[in-house]
Every structure is written in C-alpha cells, then in structure tokens.
Structure 1
Amino acid sequence: MSQIQSSEDLDRVCDVLDKLTLDSLLLIEEKVRLTLNAENAMCGGEAHLAKARYIMGQNSVSALQLPTENSAEFTASAKVYPNEDEKLFGEASYELHLTGTAEGQTVQDPVRWFGVLVPQNLHSARGMFRQALQWAVQTVNIQKQLRATMEKIVELNEVKTRILAK
C-alpha cells in the first residue's frame, strides 16, 4: 500500500516539476526578449543623442549640460516603486511611474537641460530611454518570477529524492 502511495506521490511531484520547468523556460524566453528590446531601445536612444549632438554641436549636447551637485533641486521625471498590491510569489513586483508636477516639487524635463529649441532627435532619445526603462522594470519582475520558480524546482527535487530514498 505504501509503495503505491509513494509511486503516486512521485508521479505528482514529477508532473509539477515538468510544469515548473516549462514555466521557467518560458520565463527565460520572456527575459531574453525584454532584455533585447531594452538593449535595442538604448542603442536607438544613443543614436538619436549622437544625431542631436551633430545637429546642435558637440558642446551643446554634452555632460556640461547635466545637473551637478550645485544645481537646483528637482524631482526625477520617472521613478520605480514596489507594487504591494501585485505580489509575485510573496514579493512585491515593481512598476514605473512617470511623475507630474507635485506641490513643492519641481519636475524638470531633461530635454530642457540642452536648450529650448532642441532637435526632434533629442525628444526621440528621451522616448526611447523611457521605453528602455519600462522594459528593464519588466525584466526585473520576470527575473523575480524565474528565481521563485527555480527555488520551487529545487525544493521539489529534494522531495523527489526523499521519495526515491524510501
């Protein structure tokens, strides 16, 4: 009787392991796809920055326009927050929030660091970098799911080993 029960337990554990393995492969595929999308967006953003620098001149689009420690305080135009409502395997997922003007805070458009009349390429670069940031946040969430799935696989392999040892 116990031999039959352990055989059924082994079958159930193996079925769950198979499903988790397929899930992990799908998560890996999704992570690779998101990583490639983020990389392509970053490359495109850099190309648009290079075009804007060519159009405006090499000193008009450079690190000299970026804020320094002595610059006025400002709030980032995009922030990443944990989403406690949507938990992935017990951990909070992350989401990107584009911030607007809040009371007492100055949200500064980074494109304005380079002047008022800037080429369209600078606006395109900003959009591509924002998209890359969104894909990076999604990649982190997928990575967390993948890590949790791999932990479950390790636990079930230990259970499988104990069942086989009986």
Structure 2
Amino acid sequence: MVEATEDLDRICNTLDKLTLDALSLMEEEIQLKLIMENSMCGGEGHLAKARYIMGQSNVSFLQLPTENSTEFSAVTKVFTNEEDKLYGEKSFELRVVKKDEDETVHDPLKWFGYLVPQNLNYAQNMFRQALQWAIEALNIQTQLRETVRKIEQLKQVKANIVLK
C-alpha cells in the first residue's frame, strides 16, 4: 500500500509539472502568433506603400508568375528533422536550398522591376520573418501535443493505481 501511495505521489507531481509545461507552451505559442501577426501586418503595410508609390498596376497579381512562365524553385523550404526527434517529437526548420549550377535563383522583387521602392524590400523581409515565427510556433505546437499526450497517459496510469 505504501508503494502505491509513493507511485501515486510521483505521478501527481509529474502531472503537475507537465501541466505547467503545457501552460507555458500555450503562452509561448500565443506570443509567437501575435508577433507573427504583427510582422504580417507590417509586411502588408509596406506592400501597400510600395503599391501607392509605384502605382496600382505595377504592384499587383499581374507581375506574379503564371503557369506559362519559366520554372523556378523556392529559395527556402521547410524541412522535418526526423533524425533529431526528442521523445518522438518532430521538429521543423527553414533552410536555404542550395541551387545547382544550371538552376537560376529568381528574386521575387525582380517581378516588379529592377528599381523597386525600399518598402517592397521591407515587406519581403517582414514576410520572411513571419515565416520564421510560423515555423517556431509549429515546433511549439508539436511539443504541446506531445506534452498533452504524456498527460493523458499518466492520467490513465493514475486511474489504474487508484482503482487497485
């Protein structure tokens, strides 16, 4: 009976710790999403300023590549770290893709001309930063799911000990 009480105390202490971890992960995720939202809004503001400076027709969807345009690939991609899993958790990261010699790198700002307003550069940087925040929020969300899964498992173990 004493052993069951000690096990129950250990499980309860672990549940408390995991619950606090889950709450701090939730807070961190919310903060990152707010920062990401601010970055996106700032990027949209700079994009609007560039559109105002250059004119509506010079900064529009008409400058974006279409199905008939030459092929291009992304400069950065999201990768999953399968080999670096910690306790079964996946993690994601943004990496710059190395280009082959025959591949050309297309700077999206060139779609709008060669002399673009500085606001277009600012918008690009803010959208890139928002992407970084999104990847970081995704990693925290993955950690949160794993923590919740551990909490559920410990609740089941606790219920089994209490029923005995």
TM-score (norm 1): 0.95
CA contact (8 A) 1:46 1:125 kept: yes
**Is 1:40 the counterpart of 2:38 in the alignment?**
yes
Q: 1:87 aligns with which of 85, 88, 105?
A: 85
4+ runs deviating over 6 angstroms: none
Q: 1:8 aligns with which of 6, 14, 23?
A: 6
**Greater displacement, 51-60 / 78-87:** 78-87
1:18 corresponding residue in structure 2: 16
Q: 1:141 aligns with which of 139, 142, 149?
A: 139
Q: Which amino acid aligns with 2:42?
A: G
Task: Report the CA distance between 1:97 and its aligned residue.
Answer: 1.1
CA contact (8 A) 2:89 2:146 kept: no
2:110 corresponding residue in structure 1: 112
Alignment of 1:43-122 (within 5 A): 43-122=41-120
SS in 2 for 1:96: strand
Task: Report the CA distance between 1:84 and its aligned residue.
Answer: 3.0
**Is 1:123 the counterpart of 2:121 in the alignment?**
yes
Aligned-pair RMSD on alpha carbons? 1.1
CA contact (8 A) 1:88 1:145 kept: no
SS in 2 for 1:81: strand
CA contact (8 A) 1:100 1:107 kept: no
Unaligned runs of 5+ in 2: none
CA contact (8 A) 1:78 1:98 kept: yes
| Alpha-carbon distance in 1 for matches of 2:75, 2:88 | 29
Unaligned runs of 5+ in 1: none
| Alpha-carbon distance in 2 for matches of 1:126, 1:100 | 20
TM-score (norm 2): 0.96
SS in 2 for 1:80: strand
CA contact (8 A) 2:90 2:142 kept: no
SS in 1 for 2:19: helix
| Alpha-carbon distance in 2 for matches of 1:50, 1:87 | 41
Bigger share in strand = 1
Q: Which amino acid aligns with 1:165?
A: L
CA distances 1:117-164 after superposition (whole Å, capped 9, x unpaired): 000000000000000000000111100000000000000001111111
